[in-house]
Structure 1
Amino acid sequence: MGHVHMVFGVVLILLAIIATIWELATQRGLPRALRGVVIGLFDLQILLGIITWLIRKPGWSFVLHPIIMIVAVIVLHVLTSPSAPRSRRLTGWVVATVLFIVGAAIYRV
């Protein structure tokens, strides 16, 4: 399960980078349906991470990775609403993508 979570995570980070570039390159941003799919996939990744956590039972030193990733997904849900101003959406995508990269970089079990 851990391997699936890790590979899926790399794919999602690439997807977050593409979504961020899309937000930067277009005035209207990511279409509503595509935003929903991207955020839904990140929600699924959180679920896979929880399952991996329960199976592997890592030590308490491994707390920062899930905290950063959950905060990043919360940022996506809150700041990237299609009805939000463009600057807020951009901030949400950039902050979440940076958090995903940092969270993945500190991953260790």
Structure 2
Amino acid sequence: MRSFHMVFGILLIALAIVVVIWESSSKKGVPRALRGATIGLLDLEILIGIVTWIVRTPHWSFVWHPIFMIVAVLIAHIMTTMRRPRSQRVIGWIIADVILILGAVLFYH
């Protein structure tokens, strides 16, 4: 389960980077369906992480990884909604990506 969570997480970070590039380079921004799919996959990754956490019960010092990831997904939910201007959505995706990358780095330490 941990390996799947790791590989899926890396693929999601890559997808989120693609979404940032798409959002910032196109006039209309990322299509609603792609945004929804990305957010949905991030939510699924959180659920897989929770299951992995319960099954594996890591050391207490590992608490920062899930905190970073949950914050990143919350930012993605709030800051990238289609009601926000495109510039705010780009900033939201960038912030979420940076936090996802930092959280992933914590996972490997």
Quickly name the TM-score band, shorter chain normalised: over 0.9
| Mapped contact 1:72–1:100 kept (Cα < 8 A) | yes
Q: Percent identity?
A: 54
Q: How far does residue 27 in structure 1 lie from its aligned partner after superposition?
A: 2.1
Partners in 2 of 1:89 and 1:26 — Cα distance? 12
**Where does 1:22-41 land on structure 2 (aligned, <5 Å)?**
22-41=22-41
Task: Between 69-78 and 27-36, report the one with greater CA deviation.
Answer: 27-36
Amino acid at match of 2:21: I
| Mapped contact 1:46–1:70 kept (Cα < 8 A) | yes
Could you tell me the TM-score, scaled by structure 1's length?
0.96
Q: How many residues are aligned here?
A: 109
* Counterpart in the other structure of 2:18: 18
**Matched residue SS, 1:82:** coil
1:47 paired with 2:47, answer yes
Q: How far does residue 29 in structure 1 lie from its aligned partner after superposition?
A: 1.0
Amino acid at match of 2:104: A
Gap runs ≥5 in structure 1: none
Runs of 4 or more above 4 Å deviation: none
Higher helix share: 2
Partners in 2 of 1:50 and 1:58 — Cα distance? 11
* Counterpart in the other structure of 2:83: 83
Could you tell me the TM-score, scaled by structure 2's length?
0.96
